[in-house]
Chain A
Amino acid sequence: MRKEIPLVIMVACGVFMAIQFFVPHELPALIYQNLNKTVQVVGAVALVLGIVSLLSLHFAKINRRQPGYGYSYILIAFFFMMAASGFLPAKVNLGSFLGTGDRVEGSFYLNLYNYVLTPVQATMFALLAFFIASAAFRAFRARSVIATLLLLTAIIVMIGRVPIGPFVLGDWISDLADWIMAVPNAAAKRAVIVGVGLGILSLSLKMVLGIERAWLGGGR
């Protein structure tokens, strides 16, 4: 019964949601609007579970003195500091250095976000510039027809986009880059989209019919 009931719930919800698309009546519309709310609540609770998992993992690391457990202290400390900063009452003032309570501009909570999270996020994202170069160097070798096509289009589009490309080679290079983007690129994109669309359709169908039940854990 532990697997049958969820399956029944899922099939019922799936069939209902598929059919409600064709029903303009307000009752299905109401249910549809409220679905989002439910997803949000379930997701929020799941996040609490997730954070319990994260913390217990790091507490376990500390307990077992696993290598690198010192960093777990830092992680846990910063988690609690950030969480606590979000629950500070509005009237608290930690001074001009740390900021105020509450979650408004200039609060400790948003200061941590703006001065710790934002720069690190931007830097992580920026590391991609390094990785994109090393990946290009390693993979763009003319080993086969396929690899050569990949290499050539990537290079043409790259040169076509920077000012120095047309400056050295002439305008044709950026025209060619634009043509590649507009024609062969668009064609294959559509083929991928159709394939993905059919894949999703068939997967959704299998879900709604209860054939695909991997998410329930452990097959049948």
Chain B
Amino acid sequence: MRKPLILFPLVFLFLFVFASAQTPPTPVDSLQAVDTPDDAGGQVDLTWKPSPDEGRAVSPVIGYQILAAPAADSTFVPIGTASAGATSVTAKDRLENGRPYYFKIRAYAMDSSYAESEVAGPVVPKGSWWNTKPAYLRIVIWMVFVVGFILYNIRKAGKKELYIRPIAGIDAIDEGIGRATEMGRPILFICGLGDAAQAATLAAFSVLGRVAQKTAQYQTRLIVPCYEPIVFTICQDIVKGAYLNAGRPEAYNEKDVFFVVYDQFPYVAAVNGIMLREKPATNFYLGQFYAESLMLAETGFEAGSIQIAGTDQLIQMSFFIVACDFTLIGEELFAASAYLSKEPEQVGSIKGQDWGKVIFAGLSILGVVSVLLDENLRVHFFGFFRKLMLNE
């Protein structure tokens, strides 16, 4: 019991000496609070001039605490912090939309003394209805350009015949259907492993519609084993609709458009089995594919089928190119649906896509030239465009 007795005066002395040495720092100056622009609400931007005591020798300011209150005279509660050197912060905690808030900033010194700034406010946080950040503006500009070109060409399309270059894979589709009809063997159509929202799957749908219409006319059997459940229901609608349109609803066999399983390799096992047992004359692989691409294509080759593939997955394109008779590379798959339909609007959209490529190539060339001039001759002529069009 003796030790505390000795310690007590010492501690007291210590506290006395150091407490008296505590010097509260100068508070931050000109605190301003505004509702954060371009946000969903619940946030307020605070800016201030830092305390001049951040750099003082004895117990400098080491950080700031952000305080908020619903009224200038009510109790302020801490809602966040900022480190020394910061001159702004976005307060996001515990702020509700549509209510006024007052803010102040507490500057803390090393010795835990502090000083509070003047109160800023009131600010009412609210959500914005349009994002005005440059990055978003650029996207709008791009949209106007690219979408504008596509729309312009879709509109213009009805007026005169548009040239579309021949695409071997697309021409092969009709041949494939003809082959199956001649041989009296079925056609196998696979929409890939993507879901119904993948663009490649959507492109496959429109080709499926064309193929089904033809098979309905020629009375060729069309087998569509599906992987994704939603894709399966849509495929049923498409094939059924095509048979109806062709005036042969009775020829539609519900059991030929079926769901297999929602699991990559069991699906492949099943489709491989179908290929070897039904021996289809033509196999279509259109849509999104992964590792199964080569398994399907090799088994289809073994079964003696003509194979037409198309995907937007780069690695799988290489397998299809190697193992299939015809492959629609990337964008060709998307062109296929438009090309086959021959509808002016659809063909016009292909033309619009080409305009998109012109913009792409043009900007790339301009960019390359500008970099060349910029770095070697210090001539800046493209800076404005780059700022306008690219997020850097």
| Interface positions of A (Cβ within 8 A of B) | 21-27, 29, 39, 42-43, 46-51, 53-54, 56-57, 60, 68, 120-121, 124-125, 127-128, 131-132, 134-136, 138-140, 150, 189, 192-196, 198-207, 211-212, 214-219
Contacts and interface: CB of A to CB of B under 8 A. Distances in A.
Nearest to B322: A139
A150 B329 CA distance: 15
B265 A212 contact: no
Nearest to B41: A26
B165 to A, nearest CB: 14
Contacts, number: 209
Nearest to A191: B330
B130 A23 contact: yes
B321 interface: yes
Which 3 residue pairs are nearest across A and B when measured between Cβ atoms?
A: A218-B241, A199-B334, A217-B241
Given A22-B131, A124-B269, A53 B232 contact: yes
B160 interface: no
B390 interface: no
A135 B147 contact: no
B242 A206 contact: no
B314 A46 contact: no
Contact of A194 (B203, B349, B357): B357
Determine the interface band of chain B, counting residues with CB < 8 A from chain A. Answer: 35 or more
Nearest to A42: B230
A199 B140 CA distance: 19
> In terms of DSSP, what is the predominant structure of the interface of chain A?
helix
A60 B258 CA distance: 12
Contacts of B353: 198-199, 201-202
A206 B346 contact: yes
Contacts of B312: 196, 199-200
A43 B262 CA distance: 11
Given A49-B233, A139-B322, A214-B209, A24 B39 contact: yes
Interface stretch (B12-20, B49-57, B292-300): B292-300
Interface string B231-250: 01110011111101100000
A25 B232 contact: no
B337 A53 contact: no
Contacts of B154: 211
B231 to A, nearest CB: 9
Given A22-B130, A217-B242, A202 B334 contact: yes
Interface in B178-231: 195-197, 199, 202-203, 205-206, 208-209, 213, 226, 229-230
Nearest to B349: A202
A17 to B, nearest CB: 11
Given A46-B229, A196-B331, A215-B237, 13 more contacts: A23-B129, A24-B131, A26-B40, A29-B40, A68-B277, A121-B265, A135-B294, A135-B298, A136-B322, A192-B317, A192-B331, A202-B334, A211-B154
> In terms of DSSP, what is the predominant structure of the interface of chain B?
helix
A121 B269 CA distance: 10
Nearest to A151: B322
Contacts of A136: 322
A26 B39 CA distance: 8
Contacts of B321: 139, 150
A128 B293 CA distance: 10
Nearest to A64: B255
Contact of B334 (A39, A194, A200): A200
B269 A49 contact: no
Contacts of B226: 50
A25 B345 contact: no
A84 to B, nearest CB: 18
Contacts of A127: 295
B83 interface: no
Contacts of B124: none
A212 to B, nearest CB: 7
A125 B335 CA distance: 32
Nearest to A122: B265
18 contacts: A23-B130, A25-B127, A46-B232, A53-B259, A54-B259, A121-B265, A128-B294, A135-B319, A139-B323, A195-B331, A195-B357, A200-B334, A206-B349, A211-B349, A217-B239, A217-B240, A218-B237, A218-B240
